[in-house]
């Protein structure tokens, strides 16, 4: 054997000190890798959704302009007062309730500035049956009030399903909460005629109380929108308090009406008064007939019907509306029995 062979073999064999050095390096690099690993992130916790948390959003805000709808939800409004009312021992617990939404533009203060805000409001009607299947369409600009079936405006009372029941078949639920819903899709609005589009903005939930004489049945006033030139004449005429000749002369003096339109205007007012008197008479007759045909059970239901008006509660995420609360609902419902 050549001399170099043994040396090579010996050189190829690593010494024990070298092996120890390599093991130490490996251990150090493993230690470095462990040290370099990121600490475990703390788990995120999300607050559980309340069972009726989205109830106020599900009730369609009737009469709100379409281009204002998004602004209604710009704040994180809180209706926990509405949710609490359904708890045991509270006002709405165990009762059949019909809810509709609306909005009230008000000047409020929030984070150091004042601005007009569309405040969402929810009205709860406690009743064993739907308070109405009709919608009123009215505004100052419209000549006549319309009372139409809800379905004509794509609205209807539908059951509200609480969050905890949403995996249950609807037909198996015995719902006690109903909301006024609208199925008109906003994406289809551009295809609607202007008059049809505007009708939604003039909608008011309709209610007729047959046990109480309607204000309109007692009213002696008529709204006059006379199509004069160069501009229409807007006024109110009371056939018991106003004398037509004097009333017309005053409009001419105020330059609201021209002299040559005097007779035509008087005829127009007389016709409107005849229409109003006829409507009042028909309303009284209809109410009388309805009462005669009504069962005692239904009469009792109307007598015990209650209206509750809910405003959002004060939170740091939304304006304080406590100073602008009002019991008035609309011209059909009148005032709420209680404001919350």
pLDDT tens per residue, range 307-332: 999 999 988 888 888 888 999 998 88
- The least confident of 116-120, 210-214, 225-229 is 210-214
Q: Average pLDDT of 235-253?
A: 90
Are residues 236 and 144 part of one domain? no
Dist CA 162 CA 33 (whole Å):
51
Phi, psi for residue 148 in degrees, rounded to 5: -125, 160
Query: Do 339 and 328 form a contact (C-beta atoms < 8 A)?
Result: no
- Find, among 60, 208, 211, the residue nearest to 132 by Cα: 208
Contact between 124 and 98 under an 8 Å Cβ cutoff? The reply is yes
Q: What CATH number is associated with residue 253?
A: 3.10.20
Are both 219 and 314 inside the same structural domain?
A: no
**Number of folded domains that form the chain:** 2
Range of the domain at 282: 211-293
**Contact predicate 118/103, CB 8 Å:** yes
Q: 37 lies in a domain?
A: no
Asked if the structure places residue 40 within a domain, the reply is: no
Q: Say yes or no: 204 and 279 in one domain.
A: no
Question: Are 215 and 204 found together in one domain?
Answer: no
Upper half-sphere CA count for residue 87 (Cβ side, 13 Å): 8
Q: Is 156 found in the same domain as 272?
A: no
Examine the domain organization and report whether 74 and 150 are in the same domain.
Answer: yes
Domain presence at residue 44? no
Inside any domain, residue 159:
yes
pLDDT higher than 90, residue 61: no
196 and 60 in one domain? yes
Out of 98-102, 141-145, 293-297, least confident range: 141-145
Do residue 233 and residue 314 come from a single domain?
no
58 in the same domain as 189: yes
Q: Output the pTM of the full model.
A: 0.66
- Within a domain: 146: yes
257 contacts 251 by C-beta, under 8 angstroms: yes
Report pLDDT digits (tens) over 130-156. 999 988 887 655 556 788 898 988 889
| Residues 59 and 135 reside in one and the same domain | yes
The verdict on residue 19 lying in a domain is no
Q: Which of 55-59, 211-215, 334-338 shows the lowest mean pLDDT across its residues?
A: 211-215
Which residues have a Cβ under 8 Å from the Cβ of 339 and sit 6 or more positions away? 308, 309, 311, 325, 326, 327
User: What tens digit of pLDDT does each residue of 264-283 get?
Assistant: 999 999 998 988 888 888 87
Residue 225 has pLDDT above 90, yes or no: no
For the chain, give the mean pLDDT. Answer: 79
Classify residue 12: in a domain, yes or no: no
Q: Do 73 and 62 fall within a single domain? A: yes
Residues 116 and 235 in one domain: no
Question: Does 11 fall in a domain?
Answer: no
């Amino acid at each position: 054997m050549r001399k170099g062979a043994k040396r090579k073999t010996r050189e190829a064999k690593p010494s024990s000190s070298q092996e120890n050095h390599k093991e130490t390096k490996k251990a150090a690099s493993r230690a470095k890798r462990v040290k370099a690993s990121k600490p475990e992130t703390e788990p995120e916790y999300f607050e559980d959704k309340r069972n009726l948390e989205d109830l106020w959003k599900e009730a369609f805000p009737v009469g709100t302009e379409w281009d204002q709808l998004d602004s209604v939800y710009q704040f994180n409004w809180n209706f926990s007062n509405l949710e609490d009312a359904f708890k045991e021992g509270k006002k709405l617990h165990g009762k059949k309730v019909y809810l509709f939404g609306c909005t009230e533009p008000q000047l409020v203060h929030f984070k150091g500035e004042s601005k007009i805000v569309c405040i969402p409001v929810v009205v709860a009607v406690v009743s064993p049956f739907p308070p109405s299947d009709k919608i009123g369409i009215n505004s100052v600009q419209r000549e006549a009030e319309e009372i139409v079936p809800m379905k004509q405006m794509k609205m209807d009372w539908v059951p509200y399903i609480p969050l905890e029941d949403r995996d249950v078949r609807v037909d198996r639920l015995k719902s006690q909460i109903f909301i006024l819903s609208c199925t008109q899709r906003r994406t289809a609005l551009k295809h609607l005629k202007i008059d049809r589009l505007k009708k939604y903005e003039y909608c008011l939930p309709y209610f007729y109380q047959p046990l109480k004489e309607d204000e309109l049945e007692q009213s002696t006033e008529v709204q006059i929108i006379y199509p004069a030139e160069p501009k229409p004449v807007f006024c109110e005429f009371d056939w018991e308090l106003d004398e037509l000749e004097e009333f017309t002369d005053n409009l001419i003096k105020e330059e609201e009406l021209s002299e040559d339109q005097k007779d035509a205007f008087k005829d127009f007012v007389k016709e409107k008064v005849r229409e109003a008197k006829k409507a009042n008479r028909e309303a009284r007759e209809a109410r009388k007939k309805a009462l005669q045909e009504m069962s005692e059970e239904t009469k009792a239901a109307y007598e015990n019907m209650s209206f509750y008006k809910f405003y959002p509660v004060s939170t740091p995420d939304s304006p304080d509306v406590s100073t602008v609360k009002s019991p008035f609902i609309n011209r059909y419902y009148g005032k709420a029995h209680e404001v919350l």
